[in-house]
């Protein structure tokens, strides 16, 4: 049966776990639990693609090829406890464990589509990782006047602290969708409260914000008190500074980018970086060709 697992992975390396499990069960007339399917796919992938450790050993060669084929790319490499810690400022990565986390920064293009800026595979979503990531971002984009920029994220503690240190003067906003999720977790659920929250977030003047806040309090005073503990400048248009000319309330652009790279996350470290590089390169060229045709 192990042979069938490997053949399934070879036929379609990007097959998701559910599809892989269903295909194996159908072909072998057996039953696999979700965990068994995960273990089988992981084992088969290891056999087909090789051990993750072996791919980490390829990082120096991969970095040299990036430097050769992408002139102007800055590469920094160091060795920590026998593992490569590599940073490329065109394809940034810092990884010494297979338990990696992908950090991304995505901007908005003139057509309100997403514009991938930078990505990095790190050892975890920690303050130190975000500090490293955002510092490189600031250096590469030459962001001398950070008050001209707006950063939007979910309310993850590490990135909040890192932004305060690296971009102390920028507007740091939080996605209202994530705010609503926390709102619901706090016990304030239902369509009426959700609509009231969004009307408050979309208020464009201080007077309208006050009106919508009162309306929310009339529905649920405790919900209004909970919302009152959040800084309005972080989530409602009525308090946004006008210098950056950005009124976004959602972090959909990052969600859109993440949905396009799900297959890459399943690959080994070099495959991950190469898949991301190829996707970003292709998308940017397609957008250039589209702009020239109009």
Task: Output the tens digit of pLDDT for each of the chain's 294 residues.
Answer: 555 777 776 777 667 788 888 888 888 888 888 888 888 887 777 777 777 777 778 888 888 888 888 877 766 655 565 444 444 444 443 334 445 788 889 998 888 888 888 888 887 888 888 998 899 889 888 888 888 899 998 877 788 899 999 999 998 999 999 999 999 999 999 999 999 999 999 999 999 999 999 999 999 999 999 999 999 999 999 999 888 788 899 888 888 888 888 878 777 888 888 888 889 889 989 888 988 886
CA quadruple 174, 177, 181, 184: dihedral sign: positive
H or E stretch at 217: helix 206-219
pTM for the structure as a whole: 0.75
Are the C-beta atoms of residues 114 and 141 closer than 8 Å to each other?
no
Domain ranges for the chain, please list them. 2-49, 56-173, 176-239
Cα(128)–Cα(146) distance, integer angstroms: 20
């Amino acid at each position: 049966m192990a042979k069938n697992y490997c053949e399934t992975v070879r036929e379609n390396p990007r097959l998701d776990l559910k599809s892989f499990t269903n295909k194996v069960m159908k072909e072998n007339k057996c039953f696999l639990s979700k965990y068994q399917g995960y273990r089988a796919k992981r084992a088969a992938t290891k056999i087909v693609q090789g051990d993750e450790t072996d791919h980490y050993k390829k990082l120096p060669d991969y970095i040299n090829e990036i430097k050769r084929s992408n002139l102007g790319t800055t590469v920094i490499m160091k060795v920590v406890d026998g593992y490569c810690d590599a940073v490329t400022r065109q394809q940034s990565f810092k990884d010494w464990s297979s338990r990696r986390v992908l950090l991304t920064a995505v901007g908005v293009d003139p057509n309100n589509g997403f514009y991938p800026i930078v990505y990095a595979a790190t050892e975890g979503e920690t303050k130190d990782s975000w500090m490293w990531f955002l510092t490189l971002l600031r250096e590469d984009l030459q962001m001398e006047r950070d008050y001209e920029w707006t950063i939007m994220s979910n309310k993850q503690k590490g990135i909040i602290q890192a932004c305060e240190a690296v971009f102390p003067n920028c507007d740091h906003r939080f996605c209202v969708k994530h705010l609503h999720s926390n709102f619901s977790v706090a016990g304030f659920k239902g369509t009426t409260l959700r609509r009231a929250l969004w009307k408050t977030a979309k208020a464009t003047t201080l007077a309208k914000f006050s009106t919508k806040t009162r309306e929310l309090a009339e529905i649920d005073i405790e919900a209004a008190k909970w919302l009152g503990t959040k800084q309005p400048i972080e989530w409602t248009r009525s308090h946004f500074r006008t210098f950056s000319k950005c009124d976004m309330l959602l972090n959909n652009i990052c969600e859109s980018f993440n949905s396009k790279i799900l297959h890459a996350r399943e690959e080994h470290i070099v495959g991950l970086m190469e898949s991301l590089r190829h996707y970003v390169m292709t998308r940017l060229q397609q957008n250039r060709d589209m702009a020239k045709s109009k």
